[in-house]
Amino acid sequence: MILELDNVELYFKDKRILNGIYLKAQTGEVTGILGSNGCGKSCILNIIFGTLIPKYKLIRLDSKPILKPLYQTKLVKFLPQLPIIPNNLRLKMAFKLFQVNWDEFISHFESFSIYKNYKFHQLPGGERRIVETYLLLKSPGKIILLDEPFLHVAPLYIEIIKKLISEEKQRKIIIITDHLYRDIIEASDRLYLIKDGHSKLITDLKTLEDFKYISQNTL
Ligand SMILES: Nc1ncnc2c1ncn2[C@@H]1O[C@H](COP(=O)(O)OP(=O)(O)OP(=O)(O)O)[C@@H](O)[C@H]1O
């Protein structure tokens, strides 16, 4: 499956946030989105999901325009920046609701076995983020949107999540953004930088320095 986002124009009041966005993502690949604070990365994910309606946009799936919000199609799962699971829900119930196997989860994150009967608000922030990211990644769906999945997550766990993303991409379109740009670069097969409202396909990492996303000689 190929997802394309094209011709986006987004304003908040008179302020133009995005114009001239083209983004292509396909099954078998991770598409990474990089960009400075406030450049519009979360807005792009919300536009794809359908919860933010810009002045113009075109979404195509396998070249066919999709007119209704993608969230109505059951194809897409979205991890926004804020927690998505109710505070009082127990982990074991969330795994049931998301149709995700608890034992398989524990095979990747052994130390989480004690949390099975915990409520989400009882988890430390980074660990809650891991569980939510895992549930989204593993639940049925063909398109996964991940907005800062590595927020507050320890390096060792980031490595495990990157491995899981790489396995899941065989069956899914995965679009991911995070400020941990080295992890995004490593996890992604296709990379875009959002700058001045436009998207730029990055084929040479030096371009990230040229566009002043990172300082010279960082890479
Ligand atoms: N509902 C809103 N009303 C007005 N302005 C908004 C709204 N949502 C986002 N913005 C503005 O749009 C711009 C893009 O926001 P967005 O959250 O997409 O940035 P981002 O690239 O995800 O930033 P960060 O990396 O800091 O999370 C910002 O300037 C933000 O202040």
Per-residue confidence (pLDDT) for residue 219, from 0 to 100 = 81
* ipTM (interface pTM): 0.97
The model carries a pTM of 0.96
Q: Count CB atoms within 10 A of the CB of residue 7.
A: 14
pLDDT-derived band of residue 94, with 50, 70 and 90 as boundaries?
Answer: very high
80 alpha carbon – ligand 1 mean position (Å): 13
Distance of CA 53 to the CA centre of its chain: 18
- Please compute Rg for the chain using Cα positions: 17
Which class for 189: exposed (0-12), middle (13-18), buried (19 or more C-beta within 10 A)?
middle
C-beta 41 within 6 A of ligand 1: yes
159 Cα to the center of ligand 1, angstroms: 28
pLDDT reported for residue 33: 98
Q: In terms of DSSP H, where are the helices of the chain?
A: 41-49, 91-97, 102-108, 125-138, 155-168, 181-187, 206-210
Judge whether residue 160 has pLDDT over 90: yes
Domains, the chain: 28-36+71-210 (3.40.50.300)
- Residue found under tokens 């995004």: 184
Judge if the beta carbon of residue 38 lies within 6 A of ligand 1.
yes
pLDDT digits (tens, 9 = 90+) for 60-92: 999 999 999 999 998 999 999 999 999 999 999
Residue 217: pLDDT band (50, 70, 90) is: confident
172 lines ligand 1 (CB under 6 A): no
Integer angstrom CA distances of residue 66 from 22, 47, 74, 85, 171: 15, 12, 13, 28, 21
SS3 86: coil
9-41 pLDDT, tens digit each: 999 999 999 998 999 999 999 999 999 999 999
Round to whole Å and give the CA distance between 83 and 108.
21
Mutation probe of ligand 1 site: the residue of 9, 11, 12 with most atoms within 8 A of C-beta: 12
